[in-house]
Amino acid sequence: MTVTYNFAYLDEQTKRMIRRAILKAIAIPGYQVPFASREMPMPYGWGTGGVQVTAAILGPTDVLKVIDQGSDDTTNAVSIRKFFGRTAGVRTTTRTAEATVIQTRHRIPETPLRENQVIVFQVPIPEPLRFLEPRETGTRRMHALQEYGLVHVKLYEDIARHGHIATTYAYPVKVDGRYVMDPSPIPKFDNPKMSDSPALQLFGAGREKRIYAIPPYTRVASLDFDDHPFERWRHHCRCALCGAEESFLDEVITDDHGSRMFVCSDSDFCESRRGEATTSPEAVSLASDTETHHG
């Protein structure tokens, strides 16, 4: 006899508490709703907030995708996918287009999201003002009064020191013109994808016990200055595997002599492109390297 859990691991009372927090988070876009985060069978920092949000929304007909830094194949993604495969019996996928719920650590997929999808972000530090004001009472008051001058000072100090805004990830955004929000440590390349997205975006921070949300079709503006407008950033080259010129790239060190290559951080995007490329004659030589997944 195997040990059985409640559907999706969490008990029903916990799910209700998280569900009430999610509804308030959606009603107040960008505001961090405190919730009674539970201990999960994985350490803090491994996505306990995202896992609790996913567990509270997941149903038996959902198709779950989990990514870690864009990849479906890294430890964190594999273990969370297995966790829900085991405790909820849901179908899992690596294909962005097939998923109804996508749990992510630090990326938004390259494939545009759709209306019937929910993306759940794992968040380490949900408070964008935390390194400027260590006290929770202080940051709460700052959010209440929209006292966001300090964030702009922080960005300005970047400009004074480096000549440009040097913040590259967890780049602060303002949601629907009201709350300044930490988008989680996604590269700022992904920030524009949050604005006016057809998909619902939920954020869970387990250790810090906060849930927040961006409803679909909501304006999300990356903070900037008139003379230093927000700029996306990616390595200025093509993916070494699929040749993509628009995707976010990871630098991969290939030996101990400084050789390196740049490849898509979104593994599903890259594999799909290579899969399509096999139909064109000039790409046949590449195909033999790539027939590993989706068997």
Partner 1 sequence: MATLSPGFADPVLAAQATFRGVMDAVARPCTVVPLIDTPAAPPPLCAAAAAIALTLFDHDAPVWLDPPLAQVSDVAAWIRFHTGAPIVTEPAVAAFALVSDPAGLRPFRDFAAGTLENPDTSATLILQVTTLEDGPALDFIGPGVAGRATLRAAPLPNGFAEQIIANRALFPRGVDLLFATRGSVAALPRSATLVGEV
Footprint of partner 1 (CB under 8 A)? 6-8, 12-13, 15-17, 19-29, 31, 33-34, 56-60, 140-141, 143-145, 176, 178-179, 198, 200, 213-218
The whole-angstrom separation of Cα 214 and Cα 179 is 11
Q: Which is nearer to partner 1, 101 or 270 (CB)?
A: 101
| Under 8 Å between Cβ of 252 and 243 | no
- E-strand ranges in the chain read 33-34, 63-68, 91-92, 101-105, 118-122, 173-175, 179-181, 200-205, 210-214, 220-222, 249-253, 260-264
Q: Which is nearer to partner 1, 145 or 160 (CB)?
A: 145
In the block, tokens 């955004």 appear at 173
Least Cβ distance, residue 126 to partner 1 (angstroms): 14
Q: Which is nearer to partner 1, 80 or 214 (CB)?
A: 214
| Under 8 Å between Cβ of 127 and 32 | yes
Cα 70 versus chain centre, distance: 9
Helix/strand/coil (H, E, C) string of 72-127?
A: CCCHHHHHHHHHHHHHCCCEECCCHHHCCEEEEECCCCCCCCCCCCEEEEECCCCC
Least Cβ distance, residue 36 to partner 1 (angstroms): 9
Q: Which is nearer to partner 1, 21 or 165 (CB)?
A: 21
The whole-angstrom separation of Cα 73 and Cα 292 is 12
Least Cβ distance, residue 176 to partner 1 (angstroms): 5
Query: Does the annotation mark 239 as catalytic?
Result: yes
| Under 8 Å between Cβ of 223 and 173 | yes
| Catalytically annotated residue among 49, 70, 206, 270 | 270
Q: Which is nearer to partner 1, 192 or 215 (CB)?
A: 215
Least Cβ distance, residue 26 to partner 1 (angstroms): 5
Query: Does the annotation mark 237 as catalytic?
Result: no
Least Cβ distance, residue 213 to partner 1 (angstroms): 8
| Catalytically annotated residue among 47, 49, 50, 242 | 242
Q: Which residues are catalytic?
A: 30, 239, 242, 264, 270
